[in-house]
Structure formats: C-alpha cells, structure tokens
Structure 1
C-alpha cells in the first residue's frame, strides 16, 4: 500500500472568472472546487506544484484526500482533472466531498499479477491482452481499496476473465455489474501470438494448386512440340 501523504492545504477563493484563474496560474496557484454531500460548492486555491507532484502517484486518483481549508479538514475524492494542452501543468481540479456512512462511487485502477507465469503464457505461449485499466466501484469510505487485484495465474490460451470473475475486497461492488449481465465486460484475456495467428490466416487464404484437365494437358504437350 502507498504511504504518500494525501493532505492538501487550500484557501477559499473569492476572486472568480477566467481572468482571476489566469492570474492564479501565473503565480503557481491552482484553481479548484469542492462540492457534494448536500453542501454548497466552495471555490478553492491550491499550491500547483505540490498537487502536480501528487498527480504523479496512482493513489491520488483513487484514494480519499484530506483537504485542509482554513484549518478545517474535509475528506474528498478526486472527480476531474484538467491539464494544459502541451505544458506539464494542471489547470483545474474538481473534488467531491466524502460523507462517512454513505457509499461513494469512484474509479480505482486494476493491477494484474502472475502474468509471466500464467498457464496460457508460460505453458502455451500466449500473449496477455488487457481490456480495461480501471473499474468503477461503489463502497463505503472505510472499504475503499487502493486498487483491484486480478490474478491471471490459471488463465489459459483463448480464455477471458470478465468483471464477474474478479475477487473483490469486502464491501466493494462493481457498478457495471449492477446494470445487468450484458455489462459484464472483458477484463483480460490470453491470445495466440500475432505472428502465429497471421501465419494461420495466410495458410487458410492460400489458393490450392489446380490439377489440369486432360484437354489442357494435351494442349500443353502440343505447344511443347
């Protein structure tokens, strides 16, 4: 588990508008907003460089963040990040309040383990194919996992693991599965190597040699004379 400190000190922002936001960014400040839990949204100002460094860590996008506003702590999760189109800078962040005792909806990453030793890879020469990188979950804050682990050790060539095959931590539900069986997405599969598959396709498409008829053979013999 990550040990990164997810505490962000913020100030309430009263100067609003695009011009005010541009001035903030020029001074290495980051505009943000905190909303949710039945309370009024609050516009915030953050230290850009501190938050930008946090954004390099996976847990920043999936774990509860401690926002300290005027000395008061507020638990929140990240809901949206806007970035500069070509500079390595953030331009705006949305946070959603976390209310203890109520379930929250958020995305967490998927971590695949035992890929190199998977049955379909080590014994059958297959290639791992990832179909998703994260999943949307629903759980109470105390059950929020850092990631969902997917063990592919027993996956064989040609097989696919779906959302319904995942082993979930206590108290965690997959949002997609609550929508019905047709939302049981593929998560990971083991396929035949592309070179081998392409060779099989070429063999299947290669035309078979035609056997000349008796008349064609006779005509060829006369031409040869």
Structure 2
C-alpha cells in the first residue's frame, strides 16, 4: 500500500496545530540507518488509509517527495472524540532485517463447526491479533484460524494453527517460566444455557493461559 508524505521543517505544538488546521497531519519516521525525520501527511488520505486493515499489517510504500521508502505503521494518535488523526509514527524497514509486529486473525468456518451447528453455542474470539516476527517479505496481511472442527466447550489454541512459512509467533510466558497455551477462540454456552458465569460472559477459562 502506498501513501504520500513531505518533509516537515517546523516542529512544536503551535506548528502542529497550524498543520492540522490546514488539513495536514504531523508524523515521524524513524529506524534504520538514518536519523528520525519529521514529516507531514494529507489528513484525508491518511484517514481513509487507516480505515483499511491492510494498512496496519502491511509493509507500506511511503512516497517521500518522489522517493519511495518501505515503512511499517507503528502508532496512531486520534482526537479523543472527533474523527481526526493527530499524529502518526512509522518505522523504516530493512529487507534483510526481521521485524516484529501484530497481524490480524481471520476466523473462518465457525458457523459450520459442531459447537455451533450441534451444540448451539457461541464462539468467542478471545484473541483478534497475533504478535509475530519475520522478514518483511514474509509478513502476512492476516492469519486464518479455521474453526470447522471446534467442538462444544472446546478451545482453539495457538499450537492448533499453522503459521505461514518464515513467520514465528512471539511467545507468551506464564508464571513459572513455562510457555502458556494461548487461547485464540472458545466455544461457550449461550447466556442462560447452563455455562458458568465466566463462560457466559465470553471469557476464556482462567487456567487456559494469559496474554500480555
């Protein structure tokens, strides 16, 4: 995905406020072998780009005054109650260096799983994104989690899915130093359907591991 940027020579709160009034967004790009660089973006362009899932989990092509650079979106600051982007952070990407970022999970076939079709249960998506590390060229836009075999009262763990080649998840460590079993999805009883209080509220069982 591509977006446009220009260098920003003035800094500070007042300068940023003037930029926003002019329909621009202050931003910064850092990392790699270069110094952090202050840039500015067109608000409408970046606002609509940020509404696309791919923009948050893809290597981006930043066109900075006619020259392309590969970057990764790192942080976005939004106005507390207005649909306004206040500031954006990007990180430069080196094709030869591994990156660590979060990738969205796409859950499929939940409606045909035994938990739903036979058990009449609801499926709680306990985790919606996964932190991974890989080379930029191996970064997936999303990771599919197939729920077709999820049984009533069952869980789908991280170890149950196959990650794309070259992609590794960031381990979540439980108390005692052992790697926890990260629950991605759980089949839960409907409210009032006989499940315990925690399950009826859509919470994963307490002994199934925690996330950071």
Bin for the TM-score computed over the shorter chain: 0.7 to 0.9
Relative to the length of structure 1, the TM-score reads 0.82
1:59 maps to 2:93:
no
Deviation of 1:178 after TM superposition, in Å, equals 8.2
Q: Say if 1:181 and 1:161 are closer, same or farther in 2 by CA, change over 3 A.
A: farther
> How big is the shift at 1:159?
1.0
Q: Residue 184 of structure 1: SS of its match in structure 2?
A: coil
**Alpha-carbon distance in structure 2 between the residues aligned to 1:42 and 1:171:** 31
Cα offset, 1:39, TM superposition: 2.1
- Distance in structure 2 (CA, Å) of the matches to 1:181 and 1:29: 48
Per-residue deviation, residues 29-85 of structure 1 (Å, max 9, x unmatched):
010000012321000011110010111111111001111112111100100000001
CA contact (8 A) 2:73 2:89 kept: yes
Higher share of residues assigned helix:
1
Matching of residue 188 in structure 1 with residue 185 in structure 2: yes
- Pairwise CA distance, 1:124: 1.6
Task: Give the deviation of 1:182 after TM superposition.
Answer: 3.0
Partner in structure 2 of residue 94 of structure 1? 89
- CA deviations 1:171-200 (Å, max 9, x no partner) are 1110125896434321101112222126x8
Question: In the aligned structure 1, how far is the partner of 2:137 from the partner of 2:181?
Answer: 26
Gaps of 5+ in 1: 1-5, 202-225
Residue correspondence of structure 1 range 156-175 to structure 2 within 5 A: 156-175=151-170
Structure 2, gaps ≥5 residues long: 198-212
Give the structure with higher Rg (CA): 1
Residue matched to 1:47? 42
Using the size of structure 2 for normalisation, the TM-score is: 0.87
Aligned residues: 195
